[in-house]
Structure 1
Amino acid sequence: MSREQTIVMTGASRGIGRIAAARILQEQPQTHLLLLSRSVPTDLVNELRAADGNVSVVPADLSSLREVADAADAVIARIRAGELPPIRAVACNAGVQHTNARTTTIDGYESTFAVNVLANHVLLRRLQSSLHPAARIVATVSDTHFGDFRHNLGMVPGPRWQPVDTLARVGAFRDPERAAAGRTAYSTSKLAAIYLVHEYARRFTAGPVVSYNPGFVPGTDLARDADPVSRFAMRWIMPLLTLTPLATSPSRAGQFLADAILGTVAASSGAYIDRDRVAESSPESYDPLREREIWEAVESLTDAFLPTANPTERLKK
């Protein structure tokens, strides 16, 4: 019998996150799945509850760091009130990819970096002191951070690393109104997320912190903001690639994500889970200097939304 636990998850309303949510409750039915979502995914909640799943939703628009912080506090309040079992996993699965690199959030940050990096940092740092000592943290990343044809079929430009303060603002990439800049912002944000996973592994004293790469997954809504031709290709043509090693079907990617969240894949803290196994991320993604720099930069950028007193008992010295 599985233990009672809370799993906090973003990005569960569609795509591989939706599949993973159902799998988690099937495999560990005593789990309370707590979803952070901009709007209540009523159809998903009804579907999970119809299968006797224990699920609830805390509203949070990840493009607003204030809403992320408030949502984390709402989760903590429910834990302290005894309404929820201990948090044994946090899955930062939500992500955005725009057709430009000039979209800004309410906080004034470039949207891709804000949602894919800063929101995750605020959520994890806000929840940090309330996690079970063995809690597992999973950040969904992307093999676009390799920047080569083998990993993205030439569809997404590779990352272009720059000072974090620059990446967090509009104008980090040339011709920011073009789709290529938006895709570069995406691959760069995923490289940044891997750097942070390595740094979290050094600093957090809870359970393992890992990154999860689903591979190229056609048929999801990640390209929902793309042009009509690209959307058509992603939804109806590219799925044929799942018959080859070049792509992962949404159902398999969702199962692999559930496995990463539940710890089915044995992985040490800081590991990169490539679909269903631990692997090496790109050579560029191993850089202790950049990892420390991004930690310090995101701490500064999100300072107004972090706990007023750092939970040093959960930080490695």
Structure 2
Amino acid sequence: MSSVPALFDHALLAARRRRALACEQRFSDAGFLRQSAIDDLVERLEAVSRSFEHALDVDAPDEALAQALLATGKVHNASAGKGFSNADIDHPRNEADGRLGDLPENGGCYDLITSVLSLQFANDLPGTLIQLRRALKPDGLFLGALLGGDTLIELRQVMLAAESEILGGAAPRILPFGEMRDMGSLLQRAGFALPVADIDTLVVRYSNPLRLLSDLRAMGATNILRSGARQPLRRDVVMRAMDLYAHRFAEADGKVPATFQIISLSGWAPHESQQKPLRPGSARTRLADALGVPETPAGEKAGHAKPVK
């Protein structure tokens, strides 16, 4: 039996995505966050000076990113996989095992794997990253984006406050998001070479906080936490939270902000052709010579004479 806790209900995630996709126009209108992450990923890919034969966009709700990859001219074949979103009766599996259902067990099949705003739903993120690395051919590239720790921080605060005020306690309603400082280490632990993680913050302004809730529903991004998804959220709690949102966060023009943090990840499947750090002490050029400055021995402060005894 797996020891990985099943934090997220993937079957519920699949159902909510299907509901969101059923209203195509609304899903498109609320897709600004995903589109922003796709645009950034494509820009990072275009900076890579090579092409890719076979690409997979894992856990994709649609083919938007796969089509964008093909449009760059750097990718010859791209497909959109279902991953977490096919965790339903058609693909039964143990959700706690942290595996993505559309990746091969034997690995080494893809030159490029992408993931946009889905990895935050992984019950076992370290295990999922290992699976992604194994699915790449040697010198294959992984590019991903997931939501970071301060995402929806305003909504998180007012939901906790409203539920505590009315019910005397609060159930978790918003996913716990990872911190950027941990992501580079996770990539390294998963066996990726040349790992890079950075973060971008997007603040969206709404005329009414209820419109934020509407967008989250249209994205298929409402609560899938196992500990909170089964507890219906009372209307009086929601309305109190919206009052608190407007009171605490409204700006001069009456609009309220919603913060989204997007963590971008990249890493390569190891290959002997990749750059490797030099051994300590193997440098042949002094740093002082390269910088054109006098060399200061260790223990001495630059710009100060040695003390006279």
Q: TM-score, normalised by structure 1?
A: 0.39
Q: TM-score, normalised by structure 2?
A: 0.40
Larger C-alpha radius of gyration, 1 or 2? 2
Higher strand share: 2
